[in-house]
Every structure is written in C-alpha cells, then in structure tokens.
Amino acid sequence: MSQFPDNYKWITETFGEVMSAHQKLGKELQNAGPLDSKTSQLIKLGAAAASRSEGAVHSHIKRAIKAGATPEEVYHTLLLLVSTVGFPTIAAALSWAREYIENE
C-alpha cells in the first residue's frame, strides 16, 4: 500500500495551500488538549468508521498503530460503536481493519 492514496496526492498537488492549512489545523487540534496521540487516533478511527469512510479507517488505523495501539485496541474501538451506529456499518469497518492489519 502506498503511503497516500492517489486521490489524496491529487488533492494535495491541486489544492496545496488548502491542504497545508488543513494539516496545520489537525496539528493544532491534537495539541489543544490532554489526549495522547494513540487515544486521538482511536477516536478519529471511530469517526471514520461511523462515516463509512474506508480510506479514513485505513489511515487512522495506520496512525493509531504507529502511536502504539494494538490490533486488539483497534478492533475494540470499532466494536464499541455497534450500539451507536449499527452492526452493518461496524461489520464493514471491521473488515477494512482486518484487511489492513493482516496485510501490514
């Protein structure tokens, strides 16, 4: 898997200033409170799963694991959402997570 999907690369190349501001905002938000990077990435993983964004699920799994999360923590993060966003949504997210984790 390449570091960034082709569409993300295109958006960055085409709208460089916007993406730079977007990335700066992300860093500022991360530093705005007491949550560590692992916890923040697991929260973002939950949001990505709830919005059914496969690319964002992969991205936040990668970032969460880089920040120290285990595969079990990734799966648990997703399971916690079943009663909130529904089983079909989380079943899909779990399949994306499993695909990513088993192929890395």
Domain regions of the chain by residue span = 1-33, 36-103
Per-residue confidence at 6, pLDDT binned at 50, 70, 90?
confident
pLDDT of residue 2: 52
Nearest to 88 by CA among 56, 31, 55, 49: 49
The yes or no reply on domain 36-103 and CATH 2.120.10.30 is no
Angle (CA) 62-47-37 rounded to 5° is 50
pLDDT digit string (tens) for 20-33? 999 999 899 999 99
